[in-house]
Structure 1
């Protein structure tokens, strides 16, 4: 269990678990940058010693161990492609507005 990851997800409207060199992570972060999000935290796992444990936690709670894992209002919306798809069909903006992140 990753209590750090859990705490971040509970404490912030938008949380992105990322790796600095991952193209899908860059994609998700670039999509999110289009919005003026009031409460966003980006955690770069490649800068952390507990990255493997956190990815094991993601596998348990989201069904995927891969990054990015993007959480909005405590719910995982998926990874880079999922974030881009939600943006392109207008659902990302709706999710961000619904939790008062924008």
Structure 2
């Protein structure tokens, strides 16, 4: 199974949706809550090539984008391939 990391904020509906999709698929992930650990925000932005909104999602250290990007991968049947690599 791939390593999945997601940067989130507690009140973010897109973060909740992204996490729900991963949980539906039975995928474990490392969550970084930047509202609780604001020092991680700069790391997130650097890793996401300037992406500053949440969520920012990484699969095996590859930035895939946010919730909409992950849902697009799912709709094209490409997400499972990334998650099982």
TM-score, normalized by the shorter chain, greater than 0.5: yes
Q: What displacement does 1:58 show?
A: 2.8
Using the size of structure 1 for normalisation, the TM-score is 0.71
From 43, 46, 52, the counterpart of 1:60: 46
Q: What displacement does 1:13 show?
A: 0.4
For structure 2, the residue ranges without an aligned partner over 5 or more in a row are: none
Q: What displacement does 1:84 show?
A: 1.1
Structure 1 residue runs of 4 or more that deviate by more than 3 Å after TM superposition? none
Find the counterpart in structure 2 of residue 87 from structure 1: 74
Structure with higher helix content: 1
Question: Which structure has the larger Rg?
Answer: 1
Find the counterpart in structure 1 of residue 36 from structure 2: 47
Contact 1:70–1:79 (CA under 8 A) maintained in structure 2: yes
Q: Distance in 2 between matches of 1:22 and 1:94?
A: 27
Are 1:96 and 2:83 an aligned pair? yes
For structure 1, the residue ranges without an aligned partner over 5 or more in a row are: 1-11
From 27, 36, 59, the counterpart of 2:26: 36
Count of aligned pairs? 83
Aligned-pair RMSD on alpha carbons?
1.7
